[in-house]
Structure 1
Amino acid sequence: MDWDKLRIFHAVADAGSLTHAGDILHLSQSAVSRQIRALEESLGTTLFHRHARGLILTEQGELLFEATRAMAKRLEAAAARIRDSEEEVYGELRVTTATGFGTLWLAPRLSKLYDKYPDLKIDLMLEERVLDLPMREADIAIRMKEPSQADLIRKRLMNIRMRLFATQHYIDAHGMPETMADLAHHRLICQNPNAPQVAAGARLVEELNEYDIRSKLFVNNYFGVLQAVLNHLGIGVLPDYLVESSPNLVRVLPDVESGEVPVFLAYPEELRHSKRVEVFRDFITEEINAHRRQMREDEDF
């Protein structure tokens, strides 16, 4: 199969237009169209449905696009590994993690990494969906459970727990609950138990809901829960790592907490020797160790 024709097919499928693909490839629309027709003839199938608004892949086209997309990601990874050197760290690093952890813990610390490696480009993808690392949807993942995908290098970073927090302003206005039953007189701020989240957090919310809490605010990520708590709306179910960066939070019902939630860092085996991955992994490890020391100091205090 002609690699050049596959490259042109991939650009057309990605752009959805012969004209846009031609602009990207610096080819005329007629040249792109000839290459696509030649590829269809060599395969004996139609790859695109053509209509006034553009091109739509046929079922056979979807299969080929899936293959070229995987090839493109592999080539990007190979190019990145070739560019990586022991002396320099540059290029793009795609990091995926949950919205709450990425927004509240990771992003505020990245300035330290950029201070060391100013030419590094980080694409921080914050979402609850687990991206496919072997298919190169991301280079590194930080997740609240051990990855199940094969061919990944994984490292357990730390354990977190979900706990109850409020502001002192809220406590002064509404009182400090002494028992779980007292929560019925307060507003609970949390993620919906059915929303994507760590299982331990969902179980804690289900346990709290058994106490007939009349007023609730559901938010679909922990960043939103934190903002509501900081604005004195109620008592929030939040991960314990927020205490370090949110000194205005007060622990409510200290004996109430979720089970341990493991935090894992993972990346594809093929990126084992990537300098960009190495410096990010070392950076995260250093920050986790500093976080642990701070948490121990806070507990001792």
Structure 2
Amino acid sequence: MNWQAISFDWNQVRAFLATAEEGSFSGAARVLKTTQPTVGRQIGALEDALGVTLFERSVRGLTLTETGRDLLDHVRAMGEAATLISMVADRTSQDVTGEVTVTGTDLLSAMILPHLLKPLREVAPGIRVRILASSDIENLTQRNADIAIRHVRPDQPDLIARHLGDFRANLYATSNYLDRAGRPRTARDIADHDFVGNADPGLLMTPLHNMGVPVRPESFVMSSTNGTVAWELLKAGYGVSMQPETLGEVEPGVEKVLPGFPSLEFPIWLVTHRELQTSRRIRVVFDLLARGLAERVGRAPRSAR
């Protein structure tokens, strides 16, 4: 369906978005400071205008239909883009001040976050960002961080999580290392090379075995619990390493070990606590990161709980 060719009431769209995020008409009503019947009527009117069903109603509650999920992608993208455009246009974000703590893995914090956050200095210079390099989801529940970027969906009910897509990873090495050690022709040949990995090689060995690479524990000649250190060990030419394609494909002197080798996928979740609904500074940073990360994984962001 061509959504852009259809005109509808933005209040109805806001009701749809809030209901999708909160999972119920009552939750949406609290967020929008209105009544549950009003939200229900707005959703019904939007469904009538579009000629589709957006939510399946049952005794267990509301469930987004496939059409609803598709529309949510577009609405979320439109809303985030409009927020940034309006902030640049009227400088309302100049009044948004305070600190926001963002946490992500050490590699993501060092290599990706600085680029994603750069527009923030223009649209909201009053916001100060503190980056916490960590993989602990407790950083949010214990209020040590405001926003987290994680590879697993949190199960804590008081957190809001949005799946932005999936990063792809592949096996990379420096051209100098491959010139010296030889370029593999098959997946089986890769197992004869030295590997750089994290402190627990078993985490990588199982998926590699499933992909036809019978790598052994003794193949891991260098390892680190720190992802940035592992990345630097790869660049120093110690061996083969599984790294995000968003880094490996653009790093000078680094190449994919075996062209055509299948990628591993790992999800990207943007997570925050419910203060997102009331804190403008957290909302500004959250929306900026959602847009930037979604562009990195090549898709529009999708809301999830």
TM-score, normalized by length of structure 1? 0.60
Partner of 1:223: 228
Please give the residue correspondences for 1:10-21 in structure 2 after superposition, counting only pairs within 5 Å: none
In the aligned structure 1, how far is the partner of 2:186 from the partner of 2:142? 48
Moved more, 164-173 or 108-117: 108-117
Please give the residue correspondences for 1:105-184 in structure 2 after superposition, counting only pairs within 5 Å: 105-184=112-191
Q: Determine what percentage of the aligned residue pairs are the same residue.
A: 26
Please give the residue correspondences for 1:70-109 in structure 2 after superposition, counting only pairs within 5 Å: 88-109=95-116
Please say if residues 198 and 225 of structure 2, whose CA atoms lie closer than 8 Å, have aligned partners that are also in contact: yes
Partner of 1:44: none
- Counterpart secondary structure, 2:145: coil
The alignment covers a number of residue pairs equal to 206
TM-aligned CA deviation for residue 227 of structure 1: 0.6
TM-aligned CA deviation for residue 134 of structure 1: 3.7
Give the greater-gyration-radius structure (CA).
1
1:286 corresponds to 2:291: yes
Partner of 1:35: none
Match of 1:185 among 177, 183, 192: 192
1:239 corresponds to 2:244: yes
In the aligned structure 1, how far is the partner of 2:156 from the partner of 2:201? 24
* 5+ residue gaps, structure 2: 1-91, 300-305
TM-aligned CA deviation for residue 250 of structure 1: 0.8
TM-aligned CA deviation for residue 127 of structure 1: 1.4
Please say if residues 152 and 267 of structure 2, whose CA atoms lie closer than 8 Å, have aligned partners that are also in contact: yes
Please say if residues 160 and 273 of structure 2, whose CA atoms lie closer than 8 Å, have aligned partners that are also in contact: yes
What CA RMSD, in Å, does the superposition of the two structures yield over aligned residues? 2.8
TM-aligned CA deviation for residue 258 of structure 1: 5.6
TM-aligned CA deviation for residue 293 of structure 1: 5.0
Structure 2 CA distance for partners of 1:216 and 1:131, relative to 1, 3 Å: same
Q: Deviations over 1:163-219 (max 9, x none)?
A: 100122222222211123323432111113369xxx6x5643566883346452112
Moved more, 243-252 or 166-175: 243-252
Partner of 1:204: 207
- Counterpart secondary structure, 1:133: helix
Please say if residues 194 and 202 of structure 1, whose CA atoms lie closer than 8 Å, have aligned partners that are also in contact: yes
Question: Relative contact order (alpha carbons < 8 A, sep ≥ 6): 1 or 2 greater?
Answer: 2
In the aligned structure 2, how far is the partner of 1:204 from the partner of 1:114? 41
Please say if residues 198 and 226 of structure 2, whose CA atoms lie closer than 8 Å, have aligned partners that are also in contact: yes
In the aligned structure 1, how far is the partner of 2:219 from the partner of 2:265? 28
TM-aligned CA deviation for residue 288 of structure 1: 2.5
Please say if residues 166 and 297 of structure 2, whose CA atoms lie closer than 8 Å, have aligned partners that are also in contact: no
- Counterpart secondary structure, 1:166: strand
- Counterpart secondary structure, 2:267: strand
In the aligned structure 2, how far is the partner of 1:86 from the partner of 1:214? 52
Match of 1:249 among 246, 249, 254: 254
Please say if residues 170 and 261 of structure 2, whose CA atoms lie closer than 8 Å, have aligned partners that are also in contact: yes
Q: Deviations over 1:4-44 (max 9, x none)?
A: xxxxxxxxxxxxxxxxxxxxxxxxxxxxxxxxxxxxxxxxx
TM-score, normalized by length of structure 2? 0.59
Please give the residue correspondences for 1:45-64 in structure 2 after superposition, counting only pairs within 5 Å: none
